[in-house]
Chain A
Amino acid sequence: MDTQLIEQLGHSRKTLADACGYLQTVRKGEEEGGCGVVGFCCTEPVAGRHIYEPSKQMHNRGNGKGGGIAAVGLVPEQLGVSREVLDECYMLHIALLDPKVRAEVESEFITPCFDVTASAELNKVSDWKSVGDLEVKPPDVWRYFVRVKPKTLDAFIQANEFASMDRREAEDEYVSQNSFKLNQKFYASLGQQRAFVLSHGRNIMILKVVGYAEAIVKYYKIEDLKAHIWIAHQRYPTKGRVWHPGGAHPFAAMNMGLVHNGDFANYHSVSEYLKQRNIFPQFLTDTEVSALLFDLLDRTYHYPLEYIIEALAPTTELDFDRLSPERQQLYKAIQTTHIHGSPDGPWFFIIARNVAREKKLQLIGITDTAMLRPQVFAVCEGEVQVGLIASEKQAIDATLQNMAKDDPRICPVADKYWNARGGSHTDGGSFLFNLQKDKTGRIRMTCMDKFGQAVPMPRTTESCDFTKDVASLRHDRAVQERIDAFLRDGNAAGLFEHLRSGMPRWSFDVMRTAFRTLADRGSAKENTATAIEVFTLLNDHKYPTGAKRRSHILHILRTELDRLFRSLPRITATDPAFGSYRLIDLKTAGALRAPVKGETTLVIDAAGFIAEGDRCDATLLFGAYMKGWRRFITFDLHGQRFHGCGLGPDTDDVTIDLYGSSGDYIASGIDGMTVTIHGNAQDQLGQIIKRGKLVVHGDFGQTFMYGAKGGSIFVLGNGAGRPLINSVGRPRVVINGTCLDFLGESFMAGDPLNGGGFVILNGIRLDEDGKIVPLPEPYPGSNLFSLASGGAIYVRDPHRKVVTQQLNGGKFVELAEADWELILPYLQENERLFGITVEDLLTVDGKPCKPAQVYRKVTPVALKALAKVAALPGKEKKQVAAKA
C-alpha cells in the first residue's frame, strides 16, 4: 500500500479515537499466565462438538475464568443464509452483557450504517447453571449479516480521502472503526460494561464465556454447527473476579481470530508501538494487542505473511547468519522498523483467518523466538485432510479420536507430528495450513512453513477402510497358523520379524485380522507376554509398509493392543491360575491389593483418570508400588502426568511401560527403575533424574532432564528446547535426532572419562522404511553446551557442520580411543532398543569410517568467569588446575 494511504488510515483512526474520548494511557487490565490452546482445520466442515473434547482435555491448563472458541469457514445452510451472503457479508457477533441494551446498540451502530441481510440471536440453553463449567451467565449473542450501506461507505471514503483505496478494504476499515466505536461506547469508556463486538469478519464466529471453553459448545448449542477451522482457548487469568468474558480469547481483528498462550514481558512497549501507529487497544490484555498487531501488519502495511511473522518473531543469532543475503537485508529492515512491536517473552499464537481476497481459509501457529511455550503440529493426510496445532499432544490425539468416530476416513493417529523452531532459518518458527479449492472444486489442504516451503508428507497413500468391522473380515488361515506356531514357541522376535516382513505385501484386511488374532490369542495367559512384546515391537519400530499409511497401521495395532490389555484378568481375580497379569481401571481402582504369588504385572487402564492429584492413575501406580507391585503397564493414556514419580530411592526392581499419549514430568526423580515410553513424550521428562533408565520411542518436549543427576536415557527422535540444563553428576544420554536449542546449558557433570556424564547426539532420523538418514544439520540451533563446566557432548557430525559459533563456552576436541570405548556400550544398547546399528552410524555416504571421523567431542573450556580458584587452599587449587 502506498505510504500516503497508510498515513491517511492512521489519521482516520486517530481522529476516531479522539472523537470517542479514548484515554491515551497505556495500562494492562489483566494478567494471565499459560493457557491451553488448540486449533484444527479440515477439508470437510467439522461439527462444533469436536472442539469440545480437546478443550476438555486441556481443562487443567485453564482455571475456568475464561474460555473461548472461534470458527472459520461455516456452512451457509446451517446459518440460514446463501453461500453468497456468507462469503460477502460481514458477520457481526455482538455480546450483550446487558440484554436491555440491544435496541440502543442497533439504533446507533447497526441500522443507520448497515444493510442487514439477516440477524438472529444465537440459540442458548435456558438454564445456564445446568451446563456446568460456567462461572457466570454467558452473554446473549446476536448475529448480523451486514454490508455497509453504499452511501455511508461513499461518505466514509470521501471524508477520509480513501479514494485510491480498494473499495472492499475501505469497507473493512469502516466495519473495524464501527466496532471500535461500539466497544468504546458500550464497553471501554463505561464504568460498567454492557456490550462489545465478539467478531466482525467474514465467515468467522467468535464466542467467549467466563468458564471453560467446552461449556460454550453446550451453552450456545453448537454441537452440530460445522466449520472448516476451529480454535479454542482455556484461559488462566490470575487477577480479578472476572464476571464478563471481554478479556477472554480468541480476540478478533478483521477476518481473523487469535488465541495466545503466554504472557508478554513488553506489553507496554508493544502498546506504545501500536499507539504511535494509531492503533488503540480497548480490552487491555496482551492477546488483544497481538491481534491488533497482526491486523496492522496485514491490513495497513499489506505485508506478506512471511514478513508479518518475521516482525512478530525475529530471526536472530546464527539463524540470521544462515539466511540468504537477500533475506538478511529484508529481515534487517523489518527488524529495524518493527522490533519495538515484537512481543518479548513466552508466547504462542494460533490464528484462524479467512483470507477472503485469495479465497482461502488459513490456520497458523507461531512460536516466539525463544520457544518458551509448548507447541505441537500434526497433520492427517488422506481423502479428508486435517491439520492440527496445540499446546499439548494429547489435545491433538483427543481431537482426532473424536473426529474419527464421526468420519471413518480420518485416522486417530496423525501421519506426522512435529515442533516449530522459533525464529529459525529452517522453518521460521511457524507453520500454516491453507484450505483452498483445487481445480476440480474440491477443498484441499496444504501445509507450509514461514518461508512458504511445503512440509514433506509421508509418501504412502493407501488408507485403511475403517468402516469395515474387523470381526466381519475373513481370516487368513495360513497367517493364523504361523502366528500360533510362533506363540507356541514364545518366539516374539520371530513373530515380529514374520509380521514385519509381511507388511508390505499384505492388504489392510489381512493385517487387521492378523492383529486381531494376535490380540485374541494374547488373552490366554501363556501367550500374553509374547503377544504384548510383538505388538510393542511393531509399535516402536519403523519398517517398510508398501504403500500403506504407517499411521493407519499404528492405529490398527494400538487398537488391538488395547483390546488385548482390556481382555486381561481383573484385579478382582485372585486365582493364580489366571496368570501373571492383572488389569485395573477407574472402576476397580478401589479394589487395589497386594500381588499374590505368581502375579507379576499390574496393567493400568488409564482411560478416564484425571491428569494429576490424589485420584490420578500415577497415584494409583504409587499405591500399587506401596503394596508390593513392581512391574507396571499403563495404557490408553490421555496426557496424564507423573508416572514413576514419588517411588523414592532404589527402585531397581521396578519397570513401567507407558502406551498412549503420556504426559508431563514422566520419570522425574527416578532412582533405579526403568521407564519406557512407547511413543512420543511430553514436556519436563526426567527432572532431577537420579539413576535408572528412560527409553523414549519417539520425540520429547521442553526442558527434558532439567537438573538431572544421572541415569541412562535413550531417545529415538528429536527433542524440543532447553534439554539437560543444569545437569550434574553422571547422566548418560543418547539422542538419535536433535534438539531445538540450549542443549546442555550449564552442564556440570564432571569428567565423562572418570564417571561423569555426557550426551550423544546422533543427528539422524529414520525414514519411512526404517533406514538411517542424516538430518540436514546434526544440531541446527545456537547455544550448544553453553557455559558448561563439565561433561561432554559427542555429536555425530562427519561433515563438520556444527560450527564454533554454535558453542558458547565449549570447544571441539578430537575423539580419543577412550571416548569411543566409553560411548560404544551406549550405542550398542541404542542399537538393541531402536535397531539403529553402530555399523550404520559409522557409515558415511556409503563408506565405513573410523569413529573419530564420524563423532566429534565438545568439552567445556575453562571460562574465567566460572573458575575463580585464586583463594582455594593450595592442594585444592592444584586439583582444580589439573581438571582445567
Chain B
Amino acid sequence: MASFSVKECDLEAILPAKTLETRVPQAQVERTIAPAPSRYRNELSKYILRRSHDCVHCGKCAEVCPYGVHVRKEGYKLFCEPQSHLCIGPACEKTKHYCVAACPQKALQIVENPMTQFLGDYRWTADLILATWRMAETGHVPPAECGFEHRVGNSGGGFDKLRFKFPDKPPVNVLKDQIDTSIELNRRGDGRPQVRIDVPWYGGGMSFGSVSNVTQLSKARACTAWNTFTCTGEGGYMERMRPYDDHVITQVATGLFGVREETIQRVPIVEFKYAQGAKPGLGGHLLGDKNTPAVAKIREAVLGISLFSPFPFHSVYSIEDHMKHLDWIKHINRRALLSTKVSTPNDVDMVAVGSYAAGSHIIHIDGGYGGTGAAPDIAKKNIAMPIEYAIGRVHKFLEAEGVRDKVTLIASGGLRTAHDIAKAIALGADGVVIGTSEMVALGCVRCNRCESGRGCPRGIATTDTELAAKMNIEWGTQRLINMYNAWREELVDLLWRFGMRSISELRGRTDLLMHLDYTNDVEQ
C-alpha cells in the first residue's frame, strides 16, 4: 500500500464502481474571448451622451467616434439611442474624434450620469463596477482614456491604500507571452496528485440556494475554460455540475448539507469551511424565503425554513479533531487535495500552521472585507482581521516554521481586481479566491439585497425561477471568461513591468509595495 499519484486512468483503482458510474464525460469549454454585451437594452454608463432634436442624422458623429457609441442600424434613417456606456466622456474633448465638437448641429452633449453617484459603495465604487462590466463585455482592461479607476476602490483602507512601486522601465526584458501565471496547489509531496491551475485564483463557494443554477454553471464553465476551479458552496452538489467535476471543489461545511460520499469522491479538491471572514462565528445561513422546493430537496430539509449551519463544526473542537476530520475525508477520497478555509482571527497564524500539521494541502484564509448581502452588516469588516494583515502574518509565520513551501496559501475576502490579487500575492499568498467580482461580471449592482425576498433583482443570487431566467449560461460563461482574460492580461503586464517571468516570483515581495499612509514615496 504505497503512496500513489492519481491519473485519470487510475480512477478505477481508487473509486468504487458505483461512484464511477455516476461520473459523466467531462465537458470541454473553449477559452475564446468574444464580446458579451449587457443583457439589458441600456447598460448603465458613467456618462450620458444626449442627442437633441437638432440632430439631422448626418452621420458625422458615427464617422468620428472610434468606440461605436453612435449606431444607425442597417436600413434605418434615424440613429439609435447612443451606446453611452462605450463613451469615454469629457476626456474625449482633447482628441480629434470628439463627436460633440464634430457635430455641425451642436446637437450632442456629454454629461456625467447622476446614477453613478448612487451605484456601488466605497469598496466597490461605480468605476470599479463599470470597469468590471467592461472587462466582462470585452475581455480586456478598459483603455485608459475611458477614465475608469479600475485598480482600486475608495474604501480608505486595505488594498485601496496599497500601491506597487513600479520601476521606470522593466529591469529585464521578458516577453509577455512567456510569463507564467499558473500556480501549483499540492506542495506537500505526499503522493497525492499535482494540481496546477492556469491563473492564480479560483472561484469561491456559493451554494445552490444562494445563487441560481445559471450562475453556478456559468462559473463552472468559465473555470473549466481557464483550467481552474469553482466551488459548490455548502448547499449540495447539483447534478448539472457533474460534467465539470474535474474543476469543482466541493465543500464540507458545518451544516453538512448535501454532502455524501460520492460527492466527495467526485472531485479533485475538498474544502473544509470552518468559517467565513465576512461573518466569523456565525456559520452559514439561508433564510426561509430562499429555501424553495428545489433547495429543500437537494438539502433534504423542510421547505421554507431558514437553514442555519452551525459554528463551528460540532465534531471539531481542537486541532487533533481537525486532523481526524481531514483523515476521514482523505480516507473517502484517495486523490483529493484538502483545503481548510478559516477566517482571520488574531491567532490566524497558529490556525494556519496547525492546519498544515493536520494535513491540509491548501490553507485558505478569508478576511473580513468580502461577503454578499446575506452576511449581516454588523459582522462584515468588523470581526475578522483585515486580510492584508493576515496574509503577511501567516506567510511569515509559515516561513519561520520552515513549512512555507509545503503548503499553498490562498487568500480571499474582498479581492476585487487583478491589482488586488497581485497585492495579495506580493504580501505572501500563493493565490486567491474570488467571489463578488464574478457576481459583478454577471451584472451585479451591489444593491445588497441578496438575501431578501426572492433574492437578487438582477437574477444572479436567486433561486426564483422567473428571476433566474433573466440570464443564460452561454452569456454568463462568456462574461466570466472575458473577465478572467482581462485580469490575466493585467497580471502579465504587471509582472512584465517588474521583469518577472512567473507569478510565483511576486510572492512575498512586500518590498515592491507601499502604503499611502506610511510612506514618503510619491505615488506613481
Contact = CB atoms under 8 A, between A and B. Distances in A.
Given A241-B401, A748-B305, A32 B319 contact: yes
A688 B253 CA distance: 12
A664 interface: yes
A619 B331 contact: yes
Given A61-B320, A728-B299, A866-B305, A239 B328 contact: no
Interface in B318-362: 318-324, 327-328, 330-334, 347, 349-351, 353-354, 357
Interface in A604-620: 612-616, 618-620
A688 B401 CA distance: 35
B309 to A, nearest CB: 7
A646 interface: yes
A879 B319 contact: no
Interface in B251-283: 254-257, 259-262, 264-265
A750 B319 contact: no
B301 interface: yes
Interface string A145-156: 000000000000
Interface in B396-454: 397, 400-402, 452-454
Given A668-B328, A669-B260, A728-B300, A35 B354 contact: no
A245 to B, nearest CB: 18
A688 B289 contact: no
Contacts of A344: none
Given A31-B347, A619-B331, A868 B287 contact: yes
Contacts of B314: 703, 706, 722, 725-726
A871 B324 contact: no
Among B255, B314, B347, chain A packs the most CB atoms within 10 A around the CB of B314
B302 A618 contact: no
A12 to B, nearest CB: 35
Contact of B256 (A651, A688, A877): A688
A853 interface: no
Contact of B332 (A614, A645, A703, A790): A645
Contact of A372 (B303, B317, B351): B317
B315 A684 contact: yes
B15 interface: yes
B236 to A, nearest CB: 10
B310 A746 contact: yes
A665 interface: yes
Nearest to A683: B315
B18 interface: yes
B455 to A, nearest CB: 9
Contacts of B401: 241
Given A648-B19, A707-B255, A728-B301, A31 B350 contact: yes
Contacts of B309: 726
Interface string A853-884: 00000000000011111111000110110010
A33 interface: yes
Contact of B453 (A346, A664, A729, A871): A871
Interface string B373-413: 00000000000000000000000010011100000000000
Interface residues of B, number: 69
A63 interface: yes
Per DSSP, are chain A's interface residues mostly helix, strand or loop, or mixed? loop
Given A612-B324, A625-B16, A642-B331, A706 B256 contact: yes
B451 to A, nearest CB: 10
A635 to B, nearest CB: 20
A31 B345 CA distance: 13
Given A236-B318, A239-B349, A726-B255, A709 B310 contact: no
Contacts of A161: none
B303 A879 contact: yes
B350 to A, nearest CB: 4
A866 B288 contact: yes
Nearest to A28: B347
B469 to A, nearest CB: 14
A617 B145 CA distance: 66
Contact of A725 (B264, B304, B310): B310
Contact of B302 (A31, A668, A789, A877): A789
B324 A664 contact: yes
Contacts of B38: none
A648 B320 contact: no
A373 interface: yes
A384 to B, nearest CB: 32
Contacts of B2: 614
B95 interface: no
Interface in A467-482: none
Interface string B136-175: 0000000000000000000000000000000000000000
Contact of A649 (B257, B261, B315): B261
A325 B323 CA distance: 45
B104 interface: no
* Closest 6 pairs (CB-CB, A-B): A34-B318, A707-B256, A33-B319, A648-B16, A238-B354, A880-B304
Interface of B: 1-3, 13, 15-19, 22, 254-257, 259-262, 264-265, 287-289, 292-293, 299-310, 313-315, 317-324, 327-328, 330-334, 347, 349-351, 353-354, 357, 397, 400-402, 452-454
21 contacts: A31-B347, A34-B317, A36-B320, A60-B320, A62-B320, A238-B350, A372-B317, A642-B327, A646-B265, A648-B261, A649-B260, A664-B324, A665-B328, A669-B264, A728-B257, A728-B300, A748-B302, A867-B306, A870-B289, A883-B302, A883-B304
Given A239-B350, A626-B16, 18 more contacts: A33-B321, A35-B320, A238-B350, A239-B349, A373-B318, A641-B324, A649-B261, A649-B262, A665-B328, A684-B315, A706-B315, A707-B257, A726-B254, A789-B301, A867-B306, A869-B289, A872-B292, A876-B293
